[in-house]
Amino acid sequence: VNSKKGEVLLYYCYCEVKDPGKLCDWQKALCQHLHLTGKVRVASEGINGTVGGSKVATNLYIETMLSQPLFKDILCREDFKSSAGGAHCFPDLRVGVFKEIVPMGIDPKIVSYKETGIHLSPQEFHREVEQYLSQASQGQGDTILLDCRNFYESKIGHFQGCLAPDIRKFSYFPSYVDENLELFKDKRVLMYCTGGIRCERGSAYLRSKAVCREVYQLKGGIHKYLEDFPDGFYRGKLFVFDDRYAICSNEDVISACRYCGTLWDQYKLCSSQHCRQLVLTCPNCCNKGLTACCPVCQEKELRVTSGASGESVKEECECTRQRQRVPIEHVSQRTLNTGKD
């Protein structure tokens, strides 16, 4: 089933789910039946999934999803973005019930997906970006092209001339907006993300601040844009949250090895045992043993003793200390207590 000829599907659907638990069980059974792996988030506000398997299986999955009464009139075939891959792209299958189908950390009752920005098709978005870039080159313009993904995603690929926040998780996006309201004042904002879902909540959050003139978002995200414009204004790779890390539509490499500065855009996990950061380190540097995300981790790895206690010091390293954070509220402690991430 997990032959290399399979594919990975990415989709989401906002709709009212009366019984998330029931939908979750149905979804789990469906994926198991089709031998699909991946992650599916279910909430009372909808469903968000990325699953991989054989083409026969992913096709059946789409058919079944489209005929499910809950999604029947809302979800369409166009809403599924596909790329080459398969079940081997994910370690396992995880289906769960959450409060939000994309973790922004703001209660859906407070900022609803129903208050989104104006959706632009890839063609419309392309024209907008073209106009934005030509105005910017003349030093004028009232538009901001906003990447609402994480810094490690925009690092290896982004739209030309974009503003890419230095955030590590989407749940830091609201505080980024709050701290930069002046920047967005009276501006037209063009937003984009991987598949469109982060823009649904991100644009709603930005609109709730009532400072922008207009907020637009790319329908179907970079995924759909690249189908129509593989050599358009998006340069570099598209980061994906599975074992592939990135998919490409053009040959551009826009990022560099962390250690020697050679052009390089293939991520690996930091080699330090407790760190989950991604690192860009070229084969040359890897061979020299430079495999950690920063000097602190590199040191730590050299000192790791066999008697490590297995305590989770997940984020402690130079890179994360330099990153912008959510307002200090000891998030990790709280999430550990609730057992949710």
Position 332, amino acid: S
Here the tokens at position 226 are 């690249």
CA dist., res. 307 & res. 298, Å (int): 18
CA dist., res. 169 & res. 239, Å (int): 14
Here the tokens at position 180 are 């930069």
Here the tokens at position 22 are 């029931």
CB-facing half-sphere around the CA of 139: CA atoms within 13 A: 0
Closest C-alpha to 202, from 171, 233, 224: 171
Position 152, amino acid: Y
Residue 82's DSSP bridge partners are 9
Closest C-alpha to 274, from 258, 291, 294, 297: 297
Q: 3-class secondary structure for 56-125?
A: HHHHHHHHHHHHCCCCCCCCCHHHCEEEEECHHHCCCEEEEECCCCCCCCCCCCCCCHHHCCEEECHHHH
In angstroms and rounded to an integer, the radius of gyration of the C-alpha atoms of the chain is 21
Residues with Cβ < 8 Å from 242, sequence gap 6 or more?
8, 38, 50, 52, 85, 89, 90
CA dist., res. 75 & res. 129, Å (int): 27
CA dist., res. 214 & res. 6, Å (int): 40
CA dist., res. 223 & res. 84, Å (int): 12
Which member of 193, 257, 275, 294 is catalytic? Answer: 193
Identify whether 193 is a catalytic site residue: yes
Catalytic center residues = 193
